[in-house]
Amino acid sequence: MKALKISSGILFLGLSLFQVSCSSETIKTKTESKGNITTSAEFEIRGIDLNSYEILAEIEYLPVKNSTCEITSFQNLLQKNFEILIQDPYFDIDIAFYLRDLHRKYVTHYIGPNYYGSDGQYNHLEAKRLRELQKFWQLDRQIYLNGQHTATLEDPKQLADMIESFDRSIRNATEARIKALQIIEAYEKSRQIPENTFFALDAFTRSNGLLVISDGILQLLEESGIPGEIAFSGLLAHEWWHQAQFEYNLQWENDYTENPELLRELEADFAAAYFLGHKRGATYNWKRIESFFDMTYNSGDCFTESPGHHGTPAQRLKAAQSGFALAYSEKKKGKPGKPLEIHTAFLQSM
């Protein structure tokens, strides 16, 4: 029975164990090559019955759901979309994870023209928010944003570029083009491969200044009731704070002694709400900040024993509310606090 490595953010079939990755390089994952596929690993599933969608055997660790924690509408949508994918008559588990892993690596290393949202609908907002965030936090680093789109996997040239760059079984550009065309032709009649949000479901940052926001996560947040502009701005502000954590890592690392991944994520919610609500930031009114509160609540998960746990819905909501309360209390002050002041205020709020 073959082993399949599944990266952070994947649903445990039948159990709704789906945690969206917001990696700030604090969790180390191992890699393993399976034929043509090389994937990052946090979970190992040894066999899946694709008829009943049940896990058949052991997992490296099994996150335990907190029974007092609510599964949110966003988490339910994540599960529903993955279930739709695996019910597709053309679904193949190997190709699904092969494409997802290729896409994640591609967007991590891509440098070139970009657009944000499936139709570029957030391009102007991206430029506006980037200017505001740069001025607001004044970090000493170059920060750039890549959009992630399922449409990229439908483009023969871009898919061939991915395959040539990251598929170690491919020896040259000609082989990459052939394999890309074979994949596209094989799934031409599928309505889920690669259109399903599973293939573009990333929102993460890297220490080199990269931020990534995908169409898939924006789509599902909108479907859960969050206005698209608020979903995009909230994700961008959240990921931007992870860049502050990278910049001040030497000064702050000892402050994250207990549950460091959880604290970093809650702090990013706190700082995002502070920026969004501050009169020198995005100047959100009460209606808009309430939508951001809904977003942070929906983004919480209930698997408190998982190493990738980012906070329960209640924890994430509280962090965002505390960040906004700080911004509101500074209305007369005007000038925003420096990153160290916000970091200190977050720790005091915990």
Domain limits for position 219: 4-349
- Paired tokens of 268: 């990013």
Q: Domain count for the chain, please give it.
A: 1
Distance of CA 181 to the CA centre of its chain: 28
Collapse the DSSP code of 48 into the 3-class scheme (helix H, G, I; strand E, B; otherwise coil) and give the result. Answer: strand
Please give the backbone phi and psi of residue 30, each rounded to the nearest 5 degrees, phi first. -100, 165
Q: Which residues contact 3 (CB under 8 A, 6 or more apart)?
A: 32, 34, 44, 45, 46
Q: Which residues contact 213 (CB under 8 A, 6 or more apart)?
A: 116, 145, 146, 147, 148, 202, 203, 232, 235, 236, 239
Question: For residues 306 and 271, what is the distance between their CA atoms, to the nearest angstrom?
Answer: 24
Question: For residues 83 and 77, what is the distance between their CA atoms, to the nearest angstrom?
Answer: 10
- Paired tokens of 250: 């030497």
Q: What is the pLDDT along the chain (350 residues), one digit of tens a residue?
A: 333 333 333 344 333 334 455 654 543 323 333 333 222 222 222 233 333 333 323 333 344 455 578 889 999 999 999 999 999 999 999 999 999 999 999 999 999 999 999 999 999 999 999 999 999 999 999 999 999 999 999 999 999 999 999 999 999 999 999 999 999 999 999 999 999 999 999 999 999 999 999 999 999 999 999 999 999 999 999 999 999 999 999 999 999 888 899 999 999 999 999 999 999 999 999 999 999 999 999 999 888 777 778 899 999 999 999 999 999 999 877 789 999 999 999 999 98
**Structural contact between residues 50 and 9, judged by C-beta atoms closer than 8 angstroms:** no
**Structural contact between residues 277 and 284, judged by C-beta atoms closer than 8 angstroms:** yes
- Paired tokens of 36: 């043509």
- Paired tokens of 330: 């500074």
Collapse the DSSP code of 291 into the 3-class scheme (helix H, G, I; strand E, B; otherwise coil) and give the result. Answer: helix
Please give the backbone phi and psi of residue 40, each rounded to the nearest 5 degrees, phi first. -75, 150
Helix or strand holding residue 212 (H, E): strand 210-214
Question: For residues 88 and 191, what is the distance between their CA atoms, to the nearest angstrom?
Answer: 8
**Structural contact between residues 45 and 7, judged by C-beta atoms closer than 8 angstroms:** no
Please give the backbone phi and psi of residue 70, each rounded to the nearest 5 degrees, phi first. -90, 130
**Token pair 């090559």 in the structure block, residue:** 33
**Token pair 């159990």 in the structure block, residue:** 15
Question: For residues 336 and 288, what is the distance between their CA atoms, to the nearest angstrom?
Answer: 20
pTM reported for the whole predicted model: 0.84
Question: For residues 65 and 142, what is the distance between their CA atoms, to the nearest angstrom?
Answer: 39
Rg (CA), the chain: 20
Question: For residues 315 and 320, what is the distance between their CA atoms, to the nearest angstrom?
Answer: 9
Write down the H helix ranges in the chain: 73-87, 93-109, 123-137, 156-166, 173-186, 215-223, 228-247, 249-252, 260-277, 286-299, 313-329, 339-349
- Paired tokens of 43: 């979970």
DSSP string, 174-208: HHHHHHHHHHHHHTTT-SSTTTSGGGS--EEE-TT
pLDDT at 67: 55
